[in-house]
Structure 1
């Protein structure tokens, strides 16, 4: 097991190196000069060149890459050009809304998707299955920004139940700030529950037809016990996989939702950095998201050994 874990960690380090390399060179392909954007239209070419020299943008791209990679290995993601602070500090200041938004969204998606998928599999071909499948298909095709605007118009503007946008005042309590996440978390949870529903249904259908399920029924085991104790436990591996992938998708997909609801999260920070050509922030945020993807995949692999002893063996 330890050898397998070490091999897995080694492959993840290679993935992170490739991601870091792609992120660096792809950001340099974007049109626009951050120094010129920062100084504005009135700046002279000499002013732009001086600012480029300050941030090392006048060096050859390969030299910039080597210097940047050396800093990343040491845990330094660089200095933001526009925010005038370390990228790690800028990310840390924005991580709370994104963290809680992702957490609430995956809880909502799981609470909707897993029971709906189980019910759809148990009553396959019946009205429940058809309704659940139709709703899952609808949720999978609804744009999150459109659903967010509908929720704002109905629940925030018309009914006044939740804040329209933002994350509360700087001195607001945690409960008040979290109230601003109810609508965006519901949007992301509903949209992403479709994938969990379909995977849960497919996984449950695979195990409900196995011999041990028929044997349990022949012994008179209650249907609830068969579904939850026998079938669901053996169907957990694909379900855990899709939940882990959904968490990773939520982190990346939160950019649009944070923009719609005006949340000061990492997604909003990335959008602003792209518009300003703030290379260090773009690179640092993408590396952080990629590292999260890698850690989630590793955690899912470790959870496999807990939910299914056959994987451990």
Structure 2
């Protein structure tokens, strides 16, 4: 088991090193001078040279890369050009809406997809199975921002039961802020549930026909216990994998949804940074999202130890 953990941890470090290198290269090879783009066409040559020196862009590329690695090792993602504050601090201030939106969306997707996927596999070929498969394909093809606009039109504008946008005022309570996340969480959760449902159904179908399932039934064990204790437990690894990938996708895919609902999250910060050409913020956000991907995958690998005893050996 220790060897398994060390291998996964070493793989996580290697992937992060590659991601850091790719992000560094992408920012440096982008068309145009980053300093000139950030300052705009009215900037003087002296202003551009000053900003290049401040960002370290006037140094050799190898030196920039070494300094960049040292900066990351200290937990420093640089300083935002327009916000005049550390990038890590700016991302941390915007993390709460994105964090709760991701958690709620994943919960909604799991509550919808896992039970429906299990029952659909159990009733394979039935009208329920065909209907849920069709609806899953339909949900997967719906853009989350379009579904969000429909939800706003019906629940916020027509019925007036939920807020249209925003995250509450500065003094708003946590309950008020969470109320603003209902519609965006539903929009993201419904779309994300399609992938989880299909993986759950396929994984359950793989194990429902195995010999140990027939043996459990031949011993007179109840159907609910057969399906949940034996089949579902052995089908968990693919389901955990897709849940982890979905969580990571929700973090990175919340950009458009946060913009539609006016949420002051990481997504809206990235959009404004792209429009302003604030490269330190864009670079820092890319690294944070990539790190979340890697960490979530590592945690899923650790969950395999608890779900499948064979992994320990």
- 1:92 and 2:110 aligned: no
Instruction: Give the drift of 1:129.
Output: 0.1
1: CA distance between counterparts of 2:162 and 2:272? 26
- In structure 2, the residue matched to 1:62 is 62
2: CA distance between counterparts of 1:216 and 1:298? 34
Cα distance change, pair 99–273 in 1 and its aligned pair in 2 (3 A): same
Per-residue CA deviations over 1:138-160 (Å, capped at 9, x if unaligned) read: 01110111111111111111111
Residues 204, 231 of structure 1: 8 Å contact kept: yes
Alignment length (residue pairs):
313
- In structure 1, the residue matched to 2:262 is 262
Instruction: Give the drift of 1:53.
Output: 2.4
- In structure 2, the residue matched to 1:23 is 23
- In structure 2, the residue matched to 1:129 is 129
Per-residue CA deviations over 1:32-78 (Å, capped at 9, x if unaligned) read: 54544554443322222223323323334333222112110121111
TM-score w.r.t. the length of structure 2 is 0.95
- Aligned-partner SS, 1:70: helix
Residues 156, 163 of structure 1: 8 Å contact kept: yes
Cα distance change, pair 156–33 in 1 and its aligned pair in 2 (3 A): farther
2: CA distance between counterparts of 1:288 and 1:31? 24
1: CA distance between counterparts of 2:3 and 2:133? 42
TM-score w.r.t. the length of structure 1 is 0.95
- Aligned-partner SS, 1:120: helix
- In structure 1, the residue matched to 2:224 is 224
In structure 1, the gaps of 5 or more residues are none
Cα distance change, pair 91–30 in 1 and its aligned pair in 2 (3 A): same
1: CA distance between counterparts of 2:4 and 2:211? 32
- Aligned-partner SS, 1:57: coil
Instruction: Give the drift of 1:180.
Output: 0.8
Per-residue CA deviations over 1:169-216 (Å, capped at 9, x if unaligned) read: 111111111111101110110000011100100111111101111122
**Alpha carbon RMSD of aligned pairs, Å?**
1.5
In structure 2, the gaps of 5 or more residues are none
1: CA distance between counterparts of 2:275 and 2:3? 45
1: CA distance between counterparts of 2:64 and 2:273? 19
